[in-house]
Structure 1
Amino acid sequence: MDKRKEPLNRKLPEYEVIQKAASGNILAVNQILDHYRGYIIKKSIRRLKDEYGNTYCYVDETLRQCLENQLVKKIINFKL
Structure 2
Amino acid sequence: MERIQKCPRFSIICSAVDGDEIAMEKILNHYNAYISKACLRPCYDEYGNMRIVVDMDLKGRVRTAIIKAILNFELEIK
Q: Fold conserved (TM > 0.5)?
A: yes
Q: Cα–Cα, structure 1 residues 78 and 53, in superposed 2: closer, same or farther, change >3 Å?
A: same
TM-score, normalisation: structure 2: 0.83
What code does the residue aligned with 1:69 have?
T
Counterpart check, 1:76 vs 2:71: yes
User: Given the two structures, how large is their TM-score scaled by the length of structure 1?
Assistant: 0.81
The answer to whether structure 1 residue 42 and structure 2 residue 50 are counterparts is: no
- For residue 39 of structure 1, what is the amino acid of its counterpart? Y
**Aligned residues: percent identity?**
38
Deviation at 1:13, TM superposition (A): 0.2
Q: CA RMSD in A?
A: 1.4
Structure 2: which 5+ residue stretches go unaligned? none
1:42-78 deviation line (CA, Å, top 9, x unaligned): 1111012456552211111110000000000011111
Structure 1 runs (4+) deviating above 2 angstroms are: 48-54
Structure 2 counterpart of 1:57, from 27, 52, 55: 52
**Aligned counterpart, 1:3:** none
Give ranges in structure 1 of 5+ residues lacking alignment. Answer: 1-8
- Find the aligned partners of 2:74 and 2:68 in 1 and give their Cα distance: 12
Alignment-derived partner of residue 17 in structure 2: 22
State the distance in 2 between where 1:53 and 1:66 align: 28
